[in-house]
Amino acid sequence: MPPFVVLPAARVIRHGRLQHHLLTPCRLVAQCCFRTSYTPPVTRQSSSSSSTRWKSRQGRDSFAREAKVRGLQSRAAFKLLEIDTKYKLFKKGQTVIDLGYAPGSWSQVAVERTKPNGRIIGIDIIPAQPPKGVSTIQGNFLSKDVQAEIKKFLNDPHRGRPQQQMHAPIAQEPGVDDPQEDVPTADKGKKLKDESGKTIDIVLSDMSAPWEQTSGFWKRSLSNPYIRMMNTSGIPFRDHTGSMDLCNAALEFSYDTLKTGGHFVCKFYQGAEDKQLENRLKKLFGAVHREKPESSRSESKEAYFVALRRKEAAKYADIFGGDGV
């Protein structure tokens, strides 16, 4: 027994007198054994029928289970993986913009396919924890100020790229010319002029309008953006027109920033206006494809435009008309 143990006292009445006796450890254990322990009642949190259906569907979904095993943020990663397998979008060292990146599965794919020195920038109105290797900007992409901030970020070709180990410069021998100086100055100036402001190799858009936030304003966590991530509203016309607005905004941004030969991928909900968007894409890109990936649920109206090889001589007025989008 430890040297300093306080044993409780028991009150006993003997011969009409109240006496106090210290309980030995064995007596104390015996008395504790006879006490009935309190078990709090089990309460079951109620959940909505839609939440129950979603959890049940996720449990049966092979893509959702596989995403969890691979450490991907969501099953949406397999949609981009399937598109890239078919069209070979990514190359090492590319600059990729992921519009509507939360929770970050498309950005994870882009990081993996462009490493070791690729540059991935995610944009989303919802605060979310960025995946490893991704630079992010939180804001409304439809805002011109946010788009200006993105372009400012991209002006520095080294900003957002993985930091490489610095080595001491190797001294050149006298008379050895720098191989970069073999390029004529006039040609370099012409190239810079033609590609001025066009710094992006691939624009990805998986945007949807988020739900209006009605609760949880006190939370300061970035680890669970799903509370406001919109799937569909249940109104097909609203979902379709909203996706058209977002795709056109992404296309206009791509016109200003996408390099010649660059690619564009955007999600849309099918409807009456998607043909007009497809025609605009054909004026700016060499080839345009509609895709419904296998990992996209069959009951969903979502589909993807995959536009390849941006044309050099496309005019803004020919694509968007005189008044723009």
Retrieve residue 40's tokens.
Answer: 């709090």
**Which regions of the chain does DSSP assign to beta strands (E)?**
9-14, 17-22, 95-99, 119-124, 134-138, 200-205, 258-269, 285-291, 302-310
Residues 181 and 271: their CA atoms lie apart, in Å, by 54
Taking the chain, what is the end-to-end CA distance rounded to the nearest angstrom?
83
Q: What is the pTM for the complete model shown?
A: 0.71
Report yes or no on 24 lying in a domain: no
Query: Which of 126-140, 182-196, 199-213 is modeled with the greatest confidence?
Result: 126-140
Report yes or no on 280 lying in a domain: yes
Report yes or no on 141 lying in a domain: yes
The set of long-range contacts for 130-136, using a CB threshold of 8 Å and a minimum separation of 24, is: 130/101, 130/104, 131/73, 131/104, 131/107, 133/162, 134/98, 134/101, 134/104, 134/107, 134/108, 134/110, 135/159, 135/160, 136/101
Give the CA angle between residues 48, 52, 57 to the nearest 5°. 145
Report yes or no on 166 lying in a domain: no
Polymer length in residues for the chain: 325
Chain segment 126-148, per-residue pLDDT in tens: 888 889 999 999 999 999 999 99
Q: Which of 104, 99, 100, 153 is nearest to 133 (CA)?
A: 104
For residue 281, what is the domain's CATH number? 3.40.50.150
Q: Given 68, 190, 267, 315, which residue is catalytic?
A: 267
pLDDT of residue 60: 62
Residues 135 and 153: their CA atoms lie apart, in Å, by 10
Chain segment 53-73, per-residue pLDDT in tens: 545 555 567 777 887 877 887
Q: What percent of the chain has pLDDT over 90?
A: 45
Report yes or no on 46 lying in a domain: no
CB 293 within 8 A of CB 302: no
In degrees rounded to 5, what are phi and psi of residue 301? -85, 0
Q: How many distinct structural domains can be found in the chain?
A: 1
pLDDT of residue 27: 46
Greater confidence, 7 or 162? 162
Report yes or no on 189 lying in a domain: yes
Domain that holds residue 102: 75-160+183-211+221-320
- Listed range (36-45, 74-83, 124-133, 186-195) with the worst mean pLDDT: 186-195
292 among known catalytic residues: no
CB 121 within 8 A of CB 107: no
Report yes or no on 70 lying in a domain: no
Report yes or no on 177 lying in a domain: no
Banded pLDDT at 226 (limits 50, 70, 90) = low
